[in-house]
């Protein structure tokens, strides 16, 4: 959110310059990087579709999550997902699904969710590590830029009024009510907290847990990964944090859609956001 430009008020309001060019570019780099990271990550997960808690996978305790194909003899195969001891038939999606060529395959996530779409671990790792660097460098630039331009303090840090409107904001969100007019220029408190949580908690966590899986990086200070429960716990946290990012994106896109898809999309492409005045709203 930047400054108001001196546009002449249009019939339904006026145009407001909401996102600066660097923020727009970094936003779309994130879209690409997070998409590739999720899908190549699922491809890597498919090489061993199970998650554990602890220093190793084989501690005597069963996996927290496991996807596998079960051979039922004459009844054919089925895909099974076991989560915290509960078993679900997930044939067609998890554990057993059709490949792009129509053949059934024993695999964790289905082909359409992974990059590459076949089970090619070395290439999935190449995709993943390249875009991990892109996300990291983009993120560092973003934080530096936001701090330098005060975007971080001016637009993202909640102020006293935000905290006071916390309850009101929750109710507004649940009723799908969105501010109009001047109030639409500012992020609401839940929005600010969601962005801050992603920028300063989830993304750093997912990167750190990725690093924790590297045996070489474990030697920086032997045992540091045990602070997170051990290497296999780090892998599980990495997986959960990735899905929390997906949850954020789902809610983010949902909010964008219900509060003016085209207006928001345009503002993230050209920077220009239309402020509608109360009288014309409806």
Partner 1 sequence: MDDVRSARRRFLTRALGAAGTLALGGCERLSQTEWFPKALSVGQTASSAVAHAVTSRKSMAQEFTEADRSPTFRSNGTAEPDTDEYRALSAKAFADYRLEVGGLVEKPVSLSLAELRALPSRTQITRHDCVEGWSAIAKWKGARLSALLETVQPKPDARFVVFYCADPMKEDGTDFYYESIDFDDAFHPQTILAYDLNDAGLPVANGAPIRLRVERQLGYKHAKYVMRIELVESFAGIEGGKGGYWEDQGYQWFAGI
Crossing angle of the two packed helices 121-148 and 21-45, in degrees rounded to 10: 150
Is 48 near partner 1 (CB under 8 A)? yes
Q: Which of 92, 265, 278, 281 binds partner 1 (CB under 8 A)?
A: 265
**The one segment of 79-87, 151-159, 183-191, 229-237 that binds partner 1 by CB under 8 A:** 229-237
State which of positions 178-217 bind partner 1 (CB under 8 A).
Answer: 213-217
Q: Which of 129, 163, 166, 243 binds partner 1 (CB under 8 A)?
A: 129
**The one segment of 1-9, 17-25, 28-36, 81-89 that binds partner 1 by CB under 8 A:** 28-36
Is 220 near partner 1 (CB under 8 A)? yes
Contact present, 248 and 202 (Cβ < 8 Å) = yes
Is 59 near partner 1 (CB under 8 A)? yes
State which of positions 87-126 bind partner 1 (CB under 8 A).
Answer: 112, 115-117, 120-123, 125-126
Residue 191 and residue 195: Cα distance in Å, rounded? 6
- Long-range CB contacts (< 8 A, 24+ apart) of 182-186? 182/275, 184/273, 184/275, 184/276, 185/1, 185/4, 185/16, 185/18, 185/275, 186/1, 186/155
Residue 208 and residue 72: Cα distance in Å, rounded? 41
Mention every residue, 6+ apart, whose C-beta is less than 8 A from residue 74: none
Residue ranges in contact with partner 1 by CB under 8 A: 32, 35-36, 39, 44-45, 47-48, 50, 52, 55-60, 112, 115-117, 120-123, 125-127, 129-133, 213-220, 222-223, 225-226, 231-232, 235, 262, 265-266
């Amino acid at each position: 959110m930047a400054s108001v430009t001196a546009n002449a008020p249009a019939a339904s309001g006026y145009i407001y310059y909401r996102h600066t060019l660097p923020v727009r570019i970094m936003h779309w780099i994130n879209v690409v990087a997070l998409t590739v990271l999720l899908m190549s990550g699922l491809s890597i997960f498919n090489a061993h579709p199970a998650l554990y808690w602890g220093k190793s996978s084989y501690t005597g305790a069963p996996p927290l999550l496991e996807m596998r194909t079960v051979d039922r003899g004459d009844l054919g195969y089925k895909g099974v997902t076991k989560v915290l001891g509960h078993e679900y038939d997930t044939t067609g999606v998890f554990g057993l699904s059709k490949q792009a060529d129509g053949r059934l395959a024993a695999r964790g996530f289905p082909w359409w969710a992974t990059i590459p779409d076949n089970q090619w671990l070395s290439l999935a790792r190449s995709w993943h590590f390249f875009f991990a660097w892109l996300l990291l460098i983009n993120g560092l630039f973003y934080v530096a830029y936001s701090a330098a331009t005060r975007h971080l303090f001016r637009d993202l840090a909640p102020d006293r009024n935000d905290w006071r409107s916390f309850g009101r904001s929750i109710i507004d969100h649940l009723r799908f009510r969105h501010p109009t007019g001047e109030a639409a220029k500012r992020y609401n408190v839940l929005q600010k907290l969601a962005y801050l949580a992603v920028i300063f908690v989830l993304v750093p966590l997912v990167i750190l847990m990725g690093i924790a899986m590297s045996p070489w990086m474990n030697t920086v200070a032997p045992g540091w990964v045990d602070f997170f429960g051990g290497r296999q716990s780090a892998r599980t946290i990495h997986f959960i944090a990735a899905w929390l990012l997906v949850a954020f994106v789902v809610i983010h896109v949902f909010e964008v859609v219900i509060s003016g898809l085209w207006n928001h999309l345009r503002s993230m492409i050209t920077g220009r956001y239309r402020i509608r005045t109360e009288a014309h709203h409806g």
